[in-house]
Amino acid sequence: MKKSFSYKITASLLALTLLSGCSKLFDEPNIQSNPNAVTDVDIPTLLSGTLVGVTMLHEDTDVRISAIWAGQLNGLSRQHQGYAEYIVSAQNFSWSPLYPAASQARLIQTKADAVSDKWTKGVGQVLEALLIAKATDLYGDVPYSQAFDDVKYPTPVFDKQVDVYAALQTTLDNAITNLSTASGLAFASQDFIYKGDVSKWKAAAYTLKARLYLHVGNYAKAIESGALGISSSANDALVPHGTSQGIDYNQNYDFFRVNRPGDTGFDGAYLPMLMNSRIKSANTKTDETALYNHYFKVGVVSAGTLDPNVVDGAFTSNAPHPILTYYENQLIIAEAQARLGVPDKALAALNLVRAGLASGTINGKTLSTTGRKYDPYVLTDFAPTGLANPTKAATTQLALLYEIVVQRYIFFLMQYEAFNDVRRLEKATPIVQLPIPLYSGAKKPERFIYPQGEVNTNPNVPKPLPDQFTKVTIFQ
């Protein structure tokens, strides 16, 4: 990564931090009158800083917790061992920097309105939707309608999750309208995701719409949005990373390799067991050995341990990290078509993902040619005795859905969408679930717990407070 870009990241993150601090932290009049205090930030700096916040929140501790609770990763030591035992309290969770970053996304829109900049406003709306979607997916009912005016609404109401989902679709529709206008201000130098390409931002907005429609079981709308979504892996929304510690490391690398080696790993996790079973199966059209080795490496932390591949795979310091991708877009279409009983179209979308994996492309990196095989499927492969029907499902629809669900689970490693899927599949019909074992106890987690800071300061927090085993509304 270029040094100039790293500098912008650092400067922008500083700006974001300064802007998003607690409004009552500096009430002392002498401090308030500091002539050197930051009082405003221009749109370019604000956009860069907000993008940093959004990207951080797709690689943070919450994402690791979601991976553990989805059975993809295991917590082996210290605090993460507690997460694997599903032992958490309100102290384990925080809405900072999630809501401060979302507030900055809203501020981008306000500033863009002042200069009639539709393009930047549209990007701000997509960023807002990404962050509020994460909040409601993990917590259920959350503040949204009153979330960004702390003067008028110092204790915002918690909107019902179904209402938040509806509002997010409206936000994304407005973003698409703004990104479809004929002109706007250039912001390529501040946009390290898409370099100011509004058509790519527009497609990303459609993919996010498709994701949200899939969550609530509106499969026709998911297909409609997906058709206008990200159209190739070259257009993936990926977070760029580099090799400078403290500047642009991939946060997974920083955690797995630098700061907390051994706290988490894949020993005892379901994902590598699932992939191993597929590698050893009689499915002659598929060989996921290359992808397995891309994700996992033996002996990085200590002899014999199955660890994240921080050496030459998915979790190197400069590995890009996915936010929204072409593969997710096609897998949304595949699952939605399969659930609507249109197997040929479902299979066509699944085979597009397989063709991409066959080329070696995944999240900005390239798989080894050794052990990489994804031949296109045909519908007879999902017959009761077909080679792609390991569970011996009675119908083509069930077998095809199982393959799509598995491919999503494998692809979403270290993306919180895997945790969404695990919970969503408990409700989606026809029921097709993965036999993910519990790490501890008799119940699996269904949500994050409201942060202690919010519980202490906002009387509108839902009561009684739901625990980690209480399902969120959309997945009930």
The share of the chain scoring above pLDDT 90, in percent, equals 90
Write the DSSP symbol of residue 196.
T
Write the DSSP symbol of residue 259.
I
Please state the rounded mean pLDDT for residues 264-292. Answer: 98
Distances (CA, A) of 419 to 236, 372, 412: 21, 26, 9
Contact call for residues 434 and 409 (beta carbons, < 8 A): yes
Please state the rounded mean pLDDT for residues 309-313. Answer: 98
pLDDT per residue as tens digits for the range 185-230: 889 999 999 999 999 999 999 999 999 999 999 999 999 999 999 9
Please state the rounded mean pLDDT for residues 50-76. Answer: 98
d(CA 36, CA 399): 64
d(CA 379, CA 347): 7
**Which of residues 14 and 303 earns the better pLDDT score?**
303
> Which residues, including other chains, have CB under 8 Å from residue 444's CB and lie 6 or more apart?
69, 86, 422, 436, 438, 469
* Closest C-alpha among 56, 189, 216 to residue 130: 56
Query: Taking all residues of the chain, what is their mean pLDDT, rounded to a whole number?
Result: 92
Say which range, 40-49, 247-256, 258-267, 370-379, has the weakest mean pLDDT.
Answer: 40-49
d(CA 433, CA 411): 16
Numbers of helices and strands, H then E, in the chain = 18, 10
* Closest C-alpha among 254, 160, 130, 228 to residue 476: 160
First-last CA distance in the chain = 44
Distances (CA, A) of 176 to 12, 37, 190, 200: 26, 36, 20, 11
Distances (CA, A) of 56 to 138, 233, 250: 16, 21, 9
pLDDT per residue as tens digits for the range 383-401: 999 999 999 999 999 999 9
- Dihedral sign for Cα 397, 398, 401, 403, please: negative
Q: For residue 323, how many C-alpha atoms fall within 13 Å in the half-sphere facing its CB?
A: 29
SS3 string, 286-298, reads EECHHHHHHHEEE
- Sketch out the chain's domains with CATH numbers: 221-445 (1.25.40.900)
Contact call for residues 265 and 344 (beta carbons, < 8 A): no
Please state the rounded mean pLDDT for residues 349-354. Answer: 99
Q: Which residues of 154-163 are buried (b: 16+ CB within 10 A; e: fewer)?
A: eebebbbbee
pLDDT per residue as tens digits for the range 77-136: 999 999 999 999 999 999 999 999 999 999 999 999 999 999 999 999 999 999 999 999
d(CA 296, CA 273): 12
d(CA 197, CA 305): 43
pLDDT per residue as tens digits for the range 421-460: 999 999 999 999 999 999 999 999 999 999 999 999 999 9
Identify the H or E element spanning 218: none
Q: Residue 392: how many CB atoms within 10 A of its CB? A: 10
Take residue 118 and report the two structure tokens written for it: 């539709």
Contact call for residues 59 and 321 (beta carbons, < 8 A): yes
Greatest CA separation for the chain: 78
Q: Which residues of 87-119 are buried (b: 16+ CB within 10 A; e: fewer)?
A: ebebebbbbebbbbbbbbbbbbbebbeeeebbb
* Closest C-alpha among 224, 283, 296 to residue 402: 283
pLDDT over threshold 50, residue 165: yes
Looking up tokens 């026709």 gives 220
Task: Compute the C-alpha angle 51/52/55, nearest 5°.
Answer: 85
**Which of residues 37 and 415 earns the better pLDDT score?**
415
d(CA 23, CA 268): 45
d(CA 150, CA 402): 46
Contact call for residues 224 and 292 (beta carbons, < 8 A): no
Band of the pLDDT at 184, cuts 50, 70, 90? confident
| Burial class of 303 by CB neighbour count within 10 A (0 to 12, 13 to 18, 19+) | exposed
Please state the rounded mean pLDDT for residues 153-163. Answer: 98
Say which range, 13-27, 85-99, 155-169, 348-362, has the weakest mean pLDDT.
Answer: 13-27
